[in-house]
Amino acid sequence: MNIENLLSRRTLAMSGSGIRRAFELGAKLKDPINLSIGQPDFPVARSVKDAAIHAINADRNGYSLSRGIPELTARIAEKLGNDFGWSFAGGASDIIVTPGTSGALVLAAMATLNAGDEIIIPDPYFVLYPAMASLTDAKAIYCDTYPDCKLTAARVEKCITPRTKMVVLNSPGNPGGVVNTADECRELLELCRRTNILLLSDEIYDEFTYGESRTQQAARPDKDPVMKCPSPARFPGAEENVLLVRGFGKTYGNTGWRLGYAAGPKKLIEQMIKLQQFSFVCAPTPLQWGAIAALDVDSTLQIQEYQKRRDMVMAAIGPVTGLKAPGGAFYAFPKIPEKLGMTGLEFLEAAIARNVILVNGGTFSQRDSHFRLSYAVPEHKLEAGLEVLSGLLSGR
């Protein structure tokens, strides 16, 4: 059989994850300093583990409703009500629990995009965003956000065409850790409202927002709320225009559990639930019970520790790269000094030769002038990696 003749154009057009490729390049290294994978290094809270274990032992191992177990969707509705003031008149009918936030993103794309439709994504971007277009035969429109990696209304407006269906905002962002301000969130929401475009707000790192970015007063205090973690979902009526995507893996350290959720326009959520019935079926049932317990966990100490590591990164490589302090997540996306004359891939290879694994900027962008490092690693590993990178960036 000539299997190549049977493969779809969409899968052949997609390249493998550059993040995984970087990991494979360093697979033969002995005890490498791995700054490539965005996975929290703190353990899952005991209460969360126990809740999942109890569910397994209690034989809650079958299918759940495709929208999620009612107990979890009710807790999510309560959380969003407290956080955003969203009301769920029909209970939690405007919420779906998904296999990771990636599941929510794929379902959202499938529910909204037709062949030839356009989805505006920031450049640089999370690696799944272009695939949302490829999987649906739509077209990804790359909105250039360099040098500050901010997706703003002014930048997005230039990319809008009659075929635009969706704009994707990721704040705090991957790969840059950039956090949009309250006013930037409001302006982007207002633009999408005027143009009847869905604003998808990917907030997987919502809890990973650092002190200087967490509390912001909008320019119109009489109309706009005080922001803790700036989000377009915080403004009145946003649930009619914003598809909010959040998750559990990054905040609670259980990335392998694959649990996320989406909330927003009811008619859109209904279609995502229908698609989930014929694809993922449901998120892992016993782990959904663990997620209920996770919503009671206070991650303040972990976030403070990550902010400390962020400051270590800034002290070590900020002066030589001109990097601005990331406001959230646990990544930095420095530009490689032009004097080195190196692409991101070349810099990655040089780092691997020194036992440090990174991801080159071209994995997340149409250009390859930066690199991404994750500081979700033990402090001693980060310190050793930063010493190597500081030397490389200084031309040593």
Note the pLDDT tens digit of each residue in 94-119: 899 999 999 999 999 999 999 999 99
Average pLDDT over residues 66-87: 92
Cα gap 260→9, rounded to integer Å? 29
CA 185, 254, 265: angle at the middle one, nearest 5? Answer: 40
> What is the DSSP secondary structure assignment for residue 278, as one 8-state letter?
T
CA atoms lying within 13 Å on the CB side of residue 228: 7
pTM: 0.93
| DSSP codes joined into one string, 12-60 | HHPPPPHHHHHHHHTTTSSS-EE-------SPPPHHHHHHHHHHHHTT-
Cα gap 128→119, rounded to integer Å? 12
Q: Identify residue 170 by its one-letter amino acid code.
A: N
**CATH, domain range 3-43+299-393:** 3.90.1150.10
For residue 166, what are the contacts with CB-CB under 8 A and spacing of at least 6?
A: 108, 109, 112, 113, 119, 120, 197, 198, 199, 200
Cα gap 174→19, rounded to integer Å? 12
At 346, give phi and psi (nearest 5°). -65, -40
**CATH, domain range 63-294:** 3.40.640.10
Instruction: State yes or no: pLDDT of 312 exceeds 60.
Output: yes
Mean predicted lDDT score pLDDT of the chain? 92
Predicted local distance difference test score (pLDDT) of residue 215: 65
Residue 311 near residue 367, CB atoms below 8 Å: no
Cα gap 352→107, rounded to integer Å? 36
Kindly list the domain boundaries of the chain, sorted by start residue: 3-43+299-393, 63-294
Q: Kindly report which listed range (89-103, 139-153, 318-332) carries the lowest average pLDDT score.
A: 89-103
3-state secondary structure of 158: coil
Residue 220 near residue 190, CB atoms below 8 Å: no
| Percent with pLDDT over 90 in the chain | 81
